[in-house]
Amino acid sequence: MKITFEAIQNRRGWIQADYNDGLHEGCIRFEMSDAIDVRDDLVAEALAALCGQYYDTIEMALKVSNKTKKQIEARTGAQLICKVGMLFWNINKMMRQDIKTLNFNGDLSNLSALALTPGEVNKVSLDFGQESLRMYEMFDRWNSRIVKTNVMATHFPKITSDYYMIGSILYKDFFNTTYMITGLQLNPLTFNMTKIEAEQAIAGMINLPHSLGLTVVGHTKIACRRWSNMLESAINSVKLSESHVSSLQRLLVEIENERNHLGLRIHSRDLQPTQIVWGADARLDFIALYILKYGGREKAEKLVRDIPVSAEALVAQCDFNFYERYYPGAFYYMSRSFREAVQKVLEKNEILLYSEADWQNFLYVKDWIANTRKDAIQIGR
What residue spans define the domains of the chain? Answer: 2-89, 100-378
> How does residue 199 score in pLDDT terms, banded at 50, 70 and 90?
low
Whole-number Å distance between alpha carbons of 185 and 194: 10
Provide DSSP, 143-162.
T-EEEEE-GGGSSHHHH-SG
Cα-based distances in Å from 345 to 60, 225, 360: 43, 11, 25
What is the rounded CA–CA span in Å between residue 246 and residue 268?
A: 11
Contact (CB, 8 A) for 180 and 205: yes
Position 375 pLDDT exceeds 80: no
Window from 146-160, 188-202, 267-281, 335-349 with minimum mean pLDDT: 188-202
Class of domain 2-89: alpha beta
The pLDDT, as a whole number, for residue 381 is 45
- Beta bridge partners of residue 27, listed in sequence order: 18
Look up residue 350 and give its amino acid.
E
CB 233 within 8 A of CB 138: yes
pLDDT (0 to 100) of residue 333: 83
pTM, full prediction: 0.92
275-301 tens-digit pLDDT: 999 999 999 999 999 999 999 999 999
pLDDT tens digit string along 143-172? Answer: 999 999 999 999 999 999 999 999 999 999
Confidence grade of residue 373 (pLDDT, cut at 50, 70, 90): confident
Task: Read off the pLDDT band of 206 (50, 70, 90).
Answer: confident
Q: Are 285 and 279 in contact (CB under 8 A)?
A: yes
Mean pLDDT of 204-219: 93
